Structure 1
Amino acid sequence: MLALEFVSTVHANRAGPADDLADIDGMTAWGRAHAESLGLDAASFVADEALRAEVVELRLAVRALFAHAVHPEPPSRADAHLLPPFEEALPLVNATAAAVPLAPRLDWPADGAPNIMIVPAMPASESARIRAALASATIELLASPHRERLRTCLAPRCVLYFLKEHVRQEWCSVGCGNRARAARHYRQHKAH
């Protein structure tokens, strides 16, 4: 899901929190990796600092909405102190999605069946199109039944959000579950 992949551009590695969008090269690589979902040409897309800054601002707003969605669970520890208030994040995400209205377009290849393509209804900048796709993906996720399964991974050092797949799932991955169990074991044995 694009919205989860977007918020997961903030993650943890052995050195601590990491940001895939920390610089223009990171934004370019992430945009190219998600070119199809963002309506980009992967071969020619190159981010600039203005685009990167706008996308990072949107990511903070989206992470604020995710933090609101998982409440009363705690938000991700990665950037909870940086998130805008919910009352600012929600209108920003909605306005960003609405900035590029979309329309269906019939695509009918000579040798195939017709299909629908969703395209911008009017010309829009590359930045606006990228951010609108990310905001729209966020709206779709948070307005769907998937929102009820959205969780914060509480494993040591993890800062990801994930969709809970089964009743007993507490972590985003097996690796995080192993780290959490090892930390719990260490705390229990250290106390004795």
Structure 2
Amino acid sequence: MTATRLALDLAVTIRHDGHGGVADDLADTAGLTAWLRERATVLDGAPDACADQSLLAAVREVRAATRALFARAVRPGPPSRADAHRLLPEGEAIRRLNAAAALVPTVPRLAWPPGAPPETDHRPAGEPPAADRLTAALARAVIAFLDGPDRPLLRACPAPRCVRYFVKDHARQEWCTPSCGNRARVARHHERRREGRAEGRGAA
């Protein structure tokens, strides 16, 4: 899973609930546990983590920082409607992300298999707690996304009721999913019909 995918997955744990409201996949420790289990192969510490209230608060802090900086990244377009009225100040969002990423110092580790070029990856220094490894991994994924080539492609879906962020896969993409595109086209059709009826009444 790329940093882009992981950062987006974290951001869109706040989503449309299908009934005109907003749902939170990380509303409680059970929700966080399920979300982490789905990503256990890519999140350092996920298999060992116990999703208690402390970890839930830490992950939600990283998410709040992520969504505040996603709102900045999509400018001059509008942010997601889910939390546009209560975003963290950008300086605080950056501070939180950096602090979370710094929870786990890393060291370079060399691998050089026979017949292959040398490779380096970064591993946690020492034996940090699983909760710290998880929080740091999420923060670093968000930082990598914001500093990467996909950030300029980030958008907030403009479809009615949708509150998701997405990365444009192609130049003509306007919505996060085809179903949102269909809903937006239906809404525009109804709006044009209402305007046409209003103009007809005015002419009469």
Q: TM-score, normalised by structure 1?
A: 0.90
Q: Answer yes or no: is the 8 Å Cα contact 1:155–1:180 preserved in 2.
A: yes
Instruction: Report deviation, 1:35.
Output: 1.3
Work out whether 1:20 is the aligned partner of 2:22. no
AA aligned to 1:150 is L
Alignment of 1:34-53 (within 5 A): 34-40=39-45, 42=47, 45-53=49-57
Encode CA deviations 1:83-134: one digit per residue, 9 max, x unaligned: 211011012111211221222335689xxx9975542113322222111101
Alpha-carbon contact 1:107-1:115 (below 8 Å) kept? yes
Q: Tell me the amino acid that sits aligned with residue 18 of structure 1.
A: A
Q: For residues 98-113 of structure 1, what are the structure 2 equivalents within 5 Å?
A: 98-106=102-110
Aligned residue among 143, 152, 155 for 1:139:
143
Instruction: Identify if the C-alpha distance between structure 1 residues 57 and 39 changes in structure 2 by more than 3 Å, giving closer, same or farther.
Output: same
1:122 aligns with 2:126: yes
Number of residues paired by the alignment? 189
1:168 and 2:189 aligned: no
Structure 1 regions of 5+ residues with no counterpart? none
Deviation (angstroms), 1:183? 0.6
Quick check: 1:96 aligned with 2:133? no
User: Against the structure 1 CA distance between its residues 6 and 41, is the aligned structure 2 distance closer, same or farther, given a 3 Å change threshold?
Assistant: closer
Distance 1:54 1:129 in 2: 11
Specify the SS of the correspondent of 1:145: coil
TM-score by length of 2: 0.85
For structure 2, the 5+ residue unaligned runs are: 198-204
Q: CA 1:188 to 1:166, structure 2 compared with 1: closer, same or farther past 3 Å? A: same
User: 1:71 aligns to what?
Assistant: 75
From 20, 38, 45, give the equivalent of 1:33. Answer: 38
Q: Measure, in 2, the Cα distance between the counterparts of 1:10 and 1:27.
A: 12
The two structures, once aligned, show a CA RMSD in angstroms of 2.1
**Contact 1:64/1:85 (CA < 8 Å) preserved in 2?**
yes
Q: Is the 8 A contact 1:155 1:171 kept in 2?
A: yes
CA distance in 2, matches of 1:92, 1:149: 24
Residues 32, 45 of structure 1: 8 Å contact kept: no
Runs of 4+ in 1 over 6 A off after TM superposition: none
Q: Deviations over 1:149-178 (max 9, x none)?
A: 011101111111111111211100101000
